[in-house]
Amino acid sequence: MSQSGITFVINGNAYQLRPDDRAAIGAIPAADRQQLIALLESVQEAERTAKKLAEDSRQALAGSDPYDLDRIKPDRLGAGDADALMARLVMEENRHKKSMPTRQGFYKWIAICVVVMVLLVAVF
């Protein structure tokens, strides 16, 4: 059974290869072949990383509290970890956020400013 071919372009040169076609693979110039190898290694590394992240997130979420923030590793966030981290950040922001001034407080500051202005006018 023959595998389907892959067509790609490197430095303006189009190549069509099949994994079982050794002659066509050998006909690629060395510089283009090195770029192809580097690209394929990057694709392979990305695939390994994606599988590792998926496995880590499955293991981390299996039977544990998704909002247990001590287990979150910042370099590997899965979907549940990102949600837990966002929830934590929102809670911390709300805790440290200053409250808006009330209407009563606003009127108090206006009254203080008016009194200070009257005193300044009376003194000078």
pLDDT tens-digit readout, 69-120: 555 555 555 666 777 788 888 888 888 777 778 899 999 999 999 999 999 9
Q: Which two tokens stand for residue 13?
A: 């040169």
Task: Give the tens place of pLDDT for each residue, 75-88.
Answer: 555 666 777 788 88
The predicted model scores a pTM of 0.43
**Alpha helix (H) ranges present in the chain?**
22-26, 30-61, 79-96, 103-123
* Residue 24 contacts residue 15 (beta carbons within 8 Å): yes
Please report, rounded to a whole number, the percentage of residues in the chain having pLDDT higher than 70.
81
Q: What are the residue boundaries of the structural domains of the chain, listed by start?
A: 1-63, 64-124
DSSP string over 55-78:
HHHHHHHTTS-TT-GGG-BTTB--
User: pLDDT value at position 122?
Assistant: 92
